[in-house]
Amino acid sequence: TRIQRHHFDEVVNICVGLYQTRESLKNSTFYEHLLEMDHYDGLRLATAQMIISSSAANRNLAGGDILRMASNIIKLDNLQSNSALPQDKREMVHIMSITMEDYMKDKGNKTLQFFDFIFGQDNDLITEEIKLDVVSKHDRMSDRKKNGSHVTQGKHADRDELRGRLMADPVFGLILNETEMLVNQAAAKKHR
């Protein structure tokens, strides 16, 4: 990968430059920043949080997902290809990869596939009724979030422009593009 430590330092600097630096946002929460900032700065702050943040940093159970996902893909791939492990043990390691695009197109079925992957299709622990109930609750929660009023919620008229600016950004673009290539390679392996 072309991602180096200094790129993460730059993400931290972007975050520090955006968070609680305006007088009107000095005591504001992360969420309040997203509501008040212009779309591009809000997206940059949210992207920084998804790249480097720990839950302790924002008192939330979110953050760092992009790097954690990339790390998990690499570690699991290394485990599956580790010749020090017997072949039968390596074959026991299974990975389920779902692209966000596929998930967003069919959240319910992808969630059911996830349950089957984790618990097996013929399990006695999680009944079909329980699975469908969880999917239904998840759908209702997702529907509520679609009507959000900040840049990371719902669809916005400037979505394509914002995505283009983010992907062209010398810091975020590199990290996001490298991560996307890694995810696409993992998804392609799954379909072979």
pTM (2 decimals)?
Answer: 0.71
Give the pLDDT confidence of 58-88 residue by residue, as tens digits. Answer: 555 567 888 888 888 888 888 888 889 898 8
| Residue 78, pLDDT score | 85
| Residue 139, pLDDT score | 77
For residues 131 and 136, give the distance between their C-alpha atoms in angstroms, rounded to a whole number.
9
Question: Structure tokens of 70?
Answer: 């990339």
| Residue 172, pLDDT score | 95
Q: Residue type for 5, please? A: R
Residue matched to tokens 């992907």? 167
| Residue 45, pLDDT score | 92
Mean pLDDT of the chain: 83
| Residue 101, pLDDT score | 77
The answer to whether the beta carbons of residues 177 and 168 sit under 8 Å apart is: no
Neighbours of 168 (CB within 10 A): 10
- Could you say which residues of the chain have pLDDT below 50? none
| Residue 56, pLDDT score | 57
* Four-point Cα dihedral 120, 121, 122, 125, nearest 10: 60
What's the per-residue H, E or C state across 81-147?
Answer: CCCCCCHHHHCCCCCCCCCHHHHHHCHHHHHHHHHHHHHCCCCCCCCHHHHHHHHHHHHHHHHHHHC
The answer to whether the beta carbons of residues 48 and 15 sit under 8 Å apart is: yes
Question: Structure tokens of 43?
Answer: 């997206």
Residue 61 is classified by DSSP as S
Helix (H, G, I), strand (E, B) or coil at 153: coil
Q: Which of 28, 6, 3, 14 is nearest to 150 (CA)?
A: 28
| Residue 153, pLDDT score | 63
